[in-house]
Amino acid sequence: GEDVEQSLFLSVREGDSSVINCTYTDSSSTYLYWYKQEPGAGLQLLTYIFSNMDMKQDQRLTVLLNKKDKHLSLRIADTQTGDSAIYFCAEINNAGNMLTFGGGTRLMVKP
Amino acid sequence: EPEVTQTPSHQVTQMGQEVILRCVPISNHLYFYWYRQILGQKVEFLVSFYNNEISEKSEIFDDQFSVERPDGSNFTLKIRSTKLEDSAMYFCASSRDINQPQHFGDGTRLSIL
């Protein structure tokens, strides 16, 4: 079945760039997503990329997709303390109606 | 911006009791979903629902689970006879169409005693 893997933890200094990585297994996924979860809150959709794209930029966020290696990354430029959260990547199944999530990467931003 | 709302935010129930978790999806969305996250584990898909029917369900979604859209705005998840292992955060989501981004509520924390 589908599997999505992420590293558990990332620590950066305020103002630096953060890069959160994700690998997935389902090569037929049409879309890949990044969600953010702050303490006590739900899953906030951050951005997503269509599988025929290599890159998508949205303000401070850059998503890179390497379809050959099934590798997805999220770069946050000029990371702020408010970016501290858990970041989940997710892939959609072929039918387009089920997300498979990674375990989440906890980003800690130090002042 | 429209959002998915879930109630209650926290539900405490005795083992063996029935529980109903409620969700109000975004109003022009057609697809509805339930996911759960057991503490320390991944977010897991339970079920997707479209046009008053289940369109996909996982192995977790066994006979003790059911979903319903009782009116034009609510979407509910019922657990018939709760077990200790049903303790988790339950997330509702909705999307405008298939393959469109799913928007999540803040979740209901279910604690089974």
Q: Tell me the per-residue pLDDT of B69-85, one tens digit each, with 9 for 90 and over.
A: 988 889 999 999 999 99
Q: Do A48 and B102 touch (CB under 8 A)?
A: no
User: How far apart are alpha carbons A101 and B105 in whole angstroms?
Assistant: 16
pLDDT value for A1: 65
Arithmetic mean of pLDDT, B24-38: 96
- Nearest CB to B105; choose among A42, A90, A99: A42
Are B49 and B75 in contact, with CB atoms under 8 Å apart? yes
Whether pLDDT at B1 is above 80: no
pLDDT value for A86: 97
Which of A98, A100, A106 best tests the B interface by mutation, with the highest count of B CBs <10 A? A98
Whether pLDDT at B2 is above 80: no
Residue corresponding to tokens 């981004």: B101
A-proximal residues of B, 26-55, CB under 8 Å: 31, 33, 35, 41-45, 48, 50, 55
B1 or A5: which carries more pLDDT confidence? A5
Q: Tell me the per-residue pLDDT of A71-111, one tens digit each, with 9 for 90 and over.
A: 999 999 999 999 999 999 999 988 889 999 999 999 999 99
Arithmetic mean of pLDDT, B105-112: 97
* CA-based nearest residue in chain A for residue B92: A42
Arithmetic mean of pLDDT, A19-41: 91
> Is A62 part of the contact surface with chain B (CB cutoff 8 Å)?
no
Beta strands in A16-78 (DSSP E): 18-24, 31-37, 44-50, 55-58, 61-66, 71-76
pLDDT value for A111: 92
- Nearest CB to B106; choose among A41, A93, A103: A41
Q: Do B101 and A101 touch (CB under 8 A)?
A: no
Q: Do A48 and B101 touch (CB under 8 A)?
A: yes
pLDDT value for A30: 86
Q: Do B42 and A33 touch (CB under 8 A)?
A: no
With CA atoms as reference, report the closest residue to B70 among B43, B49, B94: B49
- Nearest CB to B45; choose among A40, A43, A100: A100
Arithmetic mean of pLDDT, B16-43: 95
Residue corresponding to tokens 């892939």: A91
Residues of A in contact with B105 (CB under 8 A): 42
Q: Tell me the per-residue pLDDT of B86-95, one tens digit each, with 9 for 90 and over.
A: 999 999 999 9
Residue partners of B7: CB distance under 8 A and separation at least 6: B22, B108
Kindly tell me the burial class for residue A111, based on how many C-beta atoms sit within 10 Å of its own C-beta (0-12, 13-18, 19 or more). exposed
Residues of A in contact with B56 (CB under 8 A): 93, 95, 97-98
